[in-house]
Amino acid sequence: MERLLLRNVDKENSHTIEVYIKGGGYQALKKALKEMSPEDIIEEVKESGLRGRGGAGFPTGLKWEFAAADVKEPKFFVCNADEGEPCTFKDRVIIEKDPHALIEGMLIGAYATGCRYGYIYLRGEYPIGRKILERAIAEAYEKGFLGENILGTEFSFDLYVHSGAGAYICGEETALIDSLEGRRGEPRIKPPFPVNAGYLWQPTVVNNVETLANIPLIIERGGKWYSQIGSPDCPGPKLYAVSGKVKRPGVYELPMGTPLREIIYEHAGGIVGDRKLKAVFPGGASSCVLTPEEIDVPMDFPSLAKAGTMLGSGAVMVLDETDCIVKAALRLIEFFRHESCGKCVPCREGTDWLVRIVRRIEEGQGTEDDLDVILSVSETMENSFCGLGMAAHNPVASTVKKFREEFLKHIKLGRCPFRSGQ
């Protein structure tokens, strides 16, 4: 497949405005501002079928339509660049290697929705990205793509970078907005959705980095063209971040809906040492595990939901036969316990209980009853206040269900069967 999202990343100095413009950059913005009305743009994005790439897969055109319909002013356009889930690193490639694609996507989105000010909420642990984005924004101001009366039109837009301080929960859009307002980031109740009451309770569009990098392509080549790439229900190119026991870990751009088996065995080169595949988390740390028999699934939102898991941000984590599934589940739930904001009981207590129980099993001190307690705690966590708690139990509950024998082996042996020297 022709590289679309990653078309610029291998060019020397791909992060500079000169290289971006030379490759056709900012032509989509010119077309949008000079030849298209905000309504035309929203229609084009709706026709493309683009769904948000942050994890939830909400239709982008619809989100923009809701924001455009709200008459309160000023409106804000926020890029969620706080990718913080373990093994999720696809947005980083765009931020560091093609920042102008992101800025151009934001500009087009802001024009379509009537937003005057924009923020890129950047993961605190991406200091290189911050420097690159700040430089790119300065370049865009210099060339007249940001600021007052952009390209001689009535459209004005100012853009700022705001670094997070390391809290994973600030990737949840309402916690992100709290943090942007200078407060401790905690999720807010939804509805109202940010499109109507977001930053400073004003209409606010929040889009993921990869989502926005698609926008110049859609405006340049048309929504119809875009809708023919990948899965019909969920089209477009997709960045998959593959990590773990594969020969060639990395970020792969492939059509949405590429089978998971193809991603692991063709693009990522198969399993290290040609060992056997044991398990895959197909959509990041909060997705449900898949077994080797389940990897023919197309990697898109509806197919993975049907398979009982989720695409999330498209982070594929691969485990081989030498990995301990109990230890993997423990590591993931430890992350969520650390990152739980503590606002609601099911998540605050549930993640702590799960860590204690899974650790006990991993250390050989567990009982068979512990497995039922894990599933019961997980069920309670479904009632958490936000997506973090609702999904944090997935890696644990799904491994208990699909790899029960391995949990039982730890319990019966009184130790981890994978620990060397035992």
Q: Which is nearer to ligand SF4, 168 or 407 (CB)?
A: 168
What residues form DSSP beta bridges with 317?
243, 281
Output the CA–CA distances (angstroms, integers) from residue 112 to 32, 36, 94, 236, 309, in the order listed: 9, 9, 22, 20, 34
The number of beta carbons lying within 10 Å of the beta carbon of residue 350 is 27
d(CA 43, CA 241): 30
248 vs 347: CA distance, rounded Å: 35
In the complex, least distance from residue 74 CB atom to ligand NAI, rounded to whole angstroms = 19
Say if CB 346 and CB 389 are below 8 A apart.
Answer: yes
Task: Kindly state the tokens that stand for 9.
Answer: 């990343």
The tokens of 308 are what? 């009982």
**How far lies 105's CA from each of 249, 340, 409, in Å?**
28, 32, 51
Q: Catalog residues that contact ligand NAI under the rule CB under 6 A.
A: 52, 54-56, 58, 63, 66, 83-85, 88, 171-173, 190, 193-195, 206, 286, 310, 312-313, 387
Pairing mode of beta strands 204-208, 230-231: unpaired
Instruction: Give min distance, CB of 325 to ligand SF4, in A.
Output: 24
Q: How far is the CB of 388 from ligand SF4 (least distance, A)?
A: 4
Interaction partner, residue 84 (ligand SF4, ligand NAI, none; CB < 5-8 Å by kind): ligand NAI
Which three-class secondary structure state does DSSP give residue 73? coil
- The residue (of 195 and 347) whose beta carbon lies closer to ligand NAI is 195
Binds 343: which of ligand NAI, ligand SF4, none (CB < 5-8 Å by kind): ligand SF4
Least distance (Å) between residue 94 CB and ligand SF4: 26
Query: What is the C-alpha separation between 347 and 336, in angstroms, rounded?
Result: 9
Q: Which is nearer to ligand SF4, 192 or 414 (CB)?
A: 192
Q: Name the binder of 359 from ligand NAI, ligand SF4, none, CB < 5-8 A by kind.
A: none
If you search the block for the tokens 């497995």, which residue do you land on? Answer: 371
Least distance in Å: CB of 161 to ligand SF4? 25
Residue with the closest Cβ to ligand NAI? 55
Q: Which is nearer to ligand NAI, 129 or 312 (CB)?
A: 312
61 binds, among ligand SF4, ligand NAI, none (CB under 5 to 8 A by kind): none
